[in-house]
A and B are shown apart, each in its own frame.
Chain A
Amino acid sequence: MNINVMFKKKKPKQEKISPGLQPQDPHRISKEISTNGSPLIRMEAKELTVKYGTVTGVRNISLPIYNEKVTALIGPSGCGKTTFLRALNRMHDLTPNATVTGEVLLDGNNIYVPRMNPVTIRRKVGMVFQKPTPFPTMSIYDNVVAGLKLVGIRNRALLSEVCERALRQAALWDEVKDRLGSPGGSISGGQQQRLSIARALAIEPEVILMDEPTSSLDPLSSSKIEDLINELKQKYAIVIVTHNMQQAARVSDNTGFFYVGDLVEFGPTDKLFTNPSHKRTEEYLTGKFG
């Protein structure tokens, strides 16, 4: 049965059960998932807290990110979804006053220990932003291969190959293959966003973080990006922040619900959407607030 249809259905009262799934117990969750699919945890946040000065962005978040799965983060604005996402590839390093405590494990290694170089981490954990961000002075081609060319890879055959592969993966190749030399800003917004995705894919990361990747796009472009996410999860671990609950239901395997800096609930998407363990989650999903 389509999750989307289930989502729209008014949930019967008796489905509200007492919280069996504790959001702060990742081992429990992983056990649950491992019975019906790939068990490999690519990344894991452990008691992660991010503060901006004295203001807490997210509090004590523990969350696994599975390989070849899409993890959606939902919740009202300002509840820490993006803050959490940015902690996963050390984007907070550049935010003045931001302090991160707790651990984020990438393949079992904490990325917040001093010997970890944020540049190396970001090559494994790519990111796509809310607004398309093509590099303004570069051509489409240069945008895609920027992550390779600018670190000294000059082999043209290799770069062309990577460019084509990344653009194909991002479902953009057919639309731009005849004008790879045009400026990155000359294509449409939806195409620019897929270009940003291609650019992230070109460096072959392990994890792709997407911060509301479709919020500035029209429905057609959005659905292309969603199809793309479904394709990409064959190879990558994907984390997507979204305000669009239908989108979360359509594309994700697991969903985390954030509310004022806390991870209220985390679990398989179909369960969370049809049978949430927490009253808050249910209220948000049914539109009682948010």
Chain B
Amino acid sequence: MKTLRQRNIRDYIMVSLLILSTVLVLTPLLIIIGYVVVNGIGAISMDFFTQELGSPARAMQGQPTGLIHTIIGTLVVDTIGVIIAIPIGVGAGIMLSEYPEHKLNPLLRVLNDTLNGMPAILKGLLAFALIVRPMGTFSGLAGGIALAFVMIPIIARATESALMTIPWSIREAGLAIGLPRWRVVLSTIVPAARIGLVTGFLIAFARAAGEAAPLMFTSFGNNYLPTHWTGMILGPVDTLPQRLYSLAISPYSEWHTMGWAAGIVLLVFVVALFAGAQLLTRKKAYNT
């Protein structure tokens, strides 16, 4: 039997350890943000958000250059990815959560977790084989599909856990008034879990938005805005993570700075998404 004093000391030590681990989690994040901002802030200007990148000569000769095509391209490719991933991911999540006794359920669970753990570059190669080869060109569509492969398993798992938070009694109540099972899920369970679902979408989206590897063989990259908007979907498109990579490995110091600036934009984009997800989750805590 320990004295009260001893227990208080233990409590104090445990809380200190928790604070320490929090600090350790936050430190790398703050270092990354600080480093990226310090290195990239010099390239942020009006031009950066209004001009195309063009050839390296533009930057070296001080002509206007920017990443507007990259920012638009990122939004286009990510949107394609989300549009594809949400219905499939939610469908898989419903299967995982609502039909635990179904024969396909264990298989789906294993495949979903495997897909989640698979290196993102392989997902890019898959989209390359499925879309780029048959189409004969790199495209925003192929990039979106590659990103969908990244998002689907995350959305499926997030959907599953969001649906699991809804008490089983609600399902039984729906069944007891003679509703078919799928109707109970779609009309009572999914709406009740909607905040959890949206949070899952945001987390999956933020994760995919930061991926460069799946885009290398799919949307490929582009130094210019396409002449026609369809070029964003059917032709090679620039995206922030992959542009960041190609700027960073280029031999031009002006482009290195622009790469850091692209990093700032990407960070703001992803942090904004996560903050949005966080806000939604917090709202949920108040509601329940």
Interface on A for B, CB 8 Å cutoff?
Answer: 89, 91, 94, 96, 118-120, 122-123, 126-129, 131, 133, 135-138, 146-147, 150-151, 196, 199-200, 202-203
Known interface pairs A136-B192, A200-B176; 17 further A-B residue pairs with C-beta atoms within 8 A, sorted by A's residue number: A91-B172, A119-B175, A119-B180, A122-B175, A122-B176, A123-B178, A126-B178, A129-B172, A129-B173, A133-B169, A133-B170, A135-B187, A135-B188, A137-B194, A151-B183, A199-B177, A200-B177
In the complex, the answer to whether B176 meets A126 with C-beta atoms within 8 Å is yes
Among A96, A119, A128, A136, find the residue whose CB has the most chain B CB atoms closer than 10 A. Answer: A136
In the complex, the answer to whether A96 meets B100 with C-beta atoms within 8 Å is yes
Q: List 17 A-B contacts (CB under 8 A).
A: A91-B175, A96-B100, A119-B178, A122-B175, A122-B177, A127-B176, A129-B176, A133-B167, A136-B170, A137-B188, A138-B188, A146-B188, A147-B179, A150-B183, A151-B179, A151-B183, A203-B177
Chain A residues positioned under 8 Å from B87 (CB to CB): none
Chain A residues positioned under 8 Å from B192 (CB to CB): 135-137
Q: How far is the CA of A138 from the CA of B191 in the complex (A)?
A: 9
Interface on B for A, CB 8 Å cutoff?
Answer: 100-101, 166-167, 169-180, 183, 187-188, 191-192, 194
Chain B residues positioned under 8 Å from A119 (CB to CB): 175, 178-180
Among B101, B170, B179, find the residue whose CB has the most chain A CB atoms closer than 10 A. Answer: B179
Q: How far is the CA of A99 from the CA of B170 in the complex (A)?
A: 23
Chain A residues positioned under 8 Å from B172 (CB to CB): 91, 94, 127, 129, 133
Report, nearest first, the 4 A-B pairs whose CB atoms are least far apart.
A123-B178, A147-B177, A133-B173, A127-B176
Q: Which of A120, A131, A137, A196 contacts B178 (CB 8 A)?
A: A120
Among A122, A138, A150, find the residue whose CB has the most chain B CB atoms closer than 10 A. Answer: A150
Q: How far is the CA of A118 from the CA of B172 in the complex (A)?
A: 13
Q: How far is the CA of A202 from the CA of B166 in the complex (A)?
A: 24
Shortest Cβ gap from B125 to chain A (Å): 39
Closest chain A residue, CB of each to CB of B168: A94
Q: How far is the CA of A91 from the CA of B38 in the complex (A)?
A: 63
Among B101, B175, B177, find the residue whose CB has the most chain A CB atoms closer than 10 A. Answer: B177
Closest chain B residue, CB of each to CB of A93: B175
Among B170, B175, B194, find the residue whose CB has the most chain A CB atoms closer than 10 A. Answer: B175
In the complex, the answer to whether A150 meets B187 with C-beta atoms within 8 Å is yes
Q: Which of B100, B177, B180, B188 contacts A126 (CB 8 A)?
A: B177
